[in-house]
A and B are shown apart, each in its own frame.
Chain A
Amino acid sequence: KAGVTQTPRYLIKTRGQQVTLSCSPISGHRSVSWYQQTPGQGLQFLFEYFSETQRNKGNFPGRFSGRQFSNSRSEMNVSTLELGDSALYLCASSLGHGVNTEAFFGQGTRLTVV
């Protein structure tokens, strides 16, 4: 059974550019959540998509957006990149939407903004 697949694994972008990250959840899972991990702030929730609808949103600026497709794959977009956006971006796959649902992480996308 395939796990959570994130692409690309590494990205280097310039300030002001935009970037799109992709996440394919575990087969049969319908929820995808996105997290940002930095040494200073730790793991922080960005947003969750379930059945193509955003269900929860963290405290991040509007430059961070996402979407989910009918096959449950999700993309996250960051526009007008800033140096502080350099981080490991992780997506988590869950079977359903609920507080007792396990979340499994992908390998992450390491974004470096220069």
Chain B
Amino acid sequence: QKEVEQNSGPLSVPEGAIASLNCTYSDRGSQSFFWYRQYSGKSPELIMFIYSNGDKEDGRFTAQLNKASQYVSLLIRDSQPSDSATYLCAVNNAGNMLTFGGGTRLMVKP
């Protein structure tokens, strides 16, 4: 059983819509959660991280964490074609050892 699960997609949304990306994790002791964006052929780029239950907003991005349900999500408001990429969820359980999900491919259509 994979420790961090993501729907591989593709998730297709129209330009201007809200994209909702989801991630579940198996280790109840997980402490911090990260969202990365990766364009094809490029390295992952950190979008934001969250470690407290609730919402955390940064510009058009909102991360949501529910530790009781072992669930973390990323909302992208006013989606743009430039947001089309693979979004990686990562969990930090110890030190700087990140466990990644397989990623969700997002396609934003003009």
Interface residues of A (CB under 8 A from B): 31, 33, 35, 42-45, 48, 50, 55-56, 58, 88, 90, 92, 94, 97-108
B 31-65 to A, binary, CB cutoff 8 A, 1 in contact else 0 = 11010100000111110010100000000000000
Enumerate chain B residues within 8 angstroms of A31, measured Cβ to Cβ.
95-96
B103–A99 touching, CB < 8 Å? no
Partner of A108 from the list B34, B43, B98, B102 (CB cut-off 8 Å) is B43
Residues of A within 8 A of B68 (CB): none
Cα(A35)–Cα(B95), bound, Å: 15
Query: Which among B15-23, B72-80, B86-94 touches the partner chain?
Result: B86-94
Nearest chain-B residue to A48 (Cβ)? B96
B residues in contact with A105, CB < 8 Å: 36, 43-46
Distance in angstroms between the alpha carbons of A42 and B34 in the assembled complex: 16
Distance of B8 from chain A, by nearest CB (Å): 10
Other-chain contact of B96, A42, A43, A94, A108 (Cβ < 8 Å): A94
State the CA gap A98–B93 with chains docked (Å): 9
A99 touches B31 (CB 8 A): yes
Given A48-B96, A56-B97, A100 contacting B102 (CB threshold 8 A): no
User: Can you name 22 A-B residue pairings with CB atoms under 8 Å?
Assistant: A43-B88, A45-B98, A48-B97, A50-B95, A50-B96, A56-B94, A90-B44, A94-B96, A97-B95, A97-B96, A98-B96, A99-B31, A99-B92, A100-B92, A101-B92, A102-B34, A103-B96, A105-B36, A105-B46, A106-B43, A107-B42, A108-B43
Distance in angstroms from B2 CB to nearest chain A CB is: 9
Contacts of A43 on B, CB cut-off 8 Å?
44, 88, 90, 98, 100
Would you call B99 an interface residue if the criterion is a C-beta within 8 Å of the partner chain's C-beta atoms? yes
Interface string of B11-29 (1 = CB under 8 A from A): 0000000000000000000
Cβ contact within 8 Å between A99 and B100 = no
Please determine whether B43 and A48 come into contact, CB atoms closer than 8 angstroms.
no
Residues of B within 8 A of A92 (CB): 96, 98
CB proximity of B1 to chain A, nearest CB, Å: 15
A residues less than 8 Å from B103 (CB atoms): 42
